[in-house]
Amino acid sequence: MSAAIKQQSEHPFMNRDVILNLSNGMSTTLKLMANIDAHFEKPFADSNWKSPKEISVFLVLNTETYKGQVQFHFDLMVAKKIIENMVGSAVDENSPEILDGVGEISNIFYGAAKTKLKDLGLDLNMSIPQPCWTKDLPEQLNKAIKMVIPFKVENKDCFVEIILY
Partner 1 sequence: MFHPNTKFLVVDDFATMRKIVKKVLDELGYKNVVEAVDGKNALDILKEHQSNNSPFEFVISDWNMPNMQGIDLLKACRLDPVLKTLPFMLVTAESEQSQIIEAAKAGVSEYVIKPFNGATLKTKIERVYQKVTANSEKKAS
Residues of the shown chain interacting with partner 1 in the complex, contacts defined by CB under 8 A: 28-29, 32-33, 83, 86-89, 97, 100-101, 103-105, 107-112, 114-115, 118, 128
Q: How far is CA 48 from CA 58, 141, 145, in A?
A: 17, 12, 9
CB of 102 to partner 1, least distance (A): 9
Maximal CA-CA distance, the chain = 48
CB of 158 to partner 1, least distance (A): 17
End-to-end, the C-alpha distance of the chain in Å comes to: 18
47 or 62, CB closer to partner 1?
A: 62
Please tell me the total number of residues recorded for the chain in this structure.
165
19 or 83, CB closer to partner 1?
A: 83
CB of 127 to partner 1, least distance (A): 12
CB of 110 to partner 1, least distance (A): 7
54 or 97, CB closer to partner 1?
A: 97
119 or 136, CB closer to partner 1?
A: 119
According to DSSP H, which parts of 37-95 are helical? 76-87
Partnered with residue 62 across adjacent β-strands are 67, 125
Nearest Cα residue to 110 out of 11, 18, 41: 18
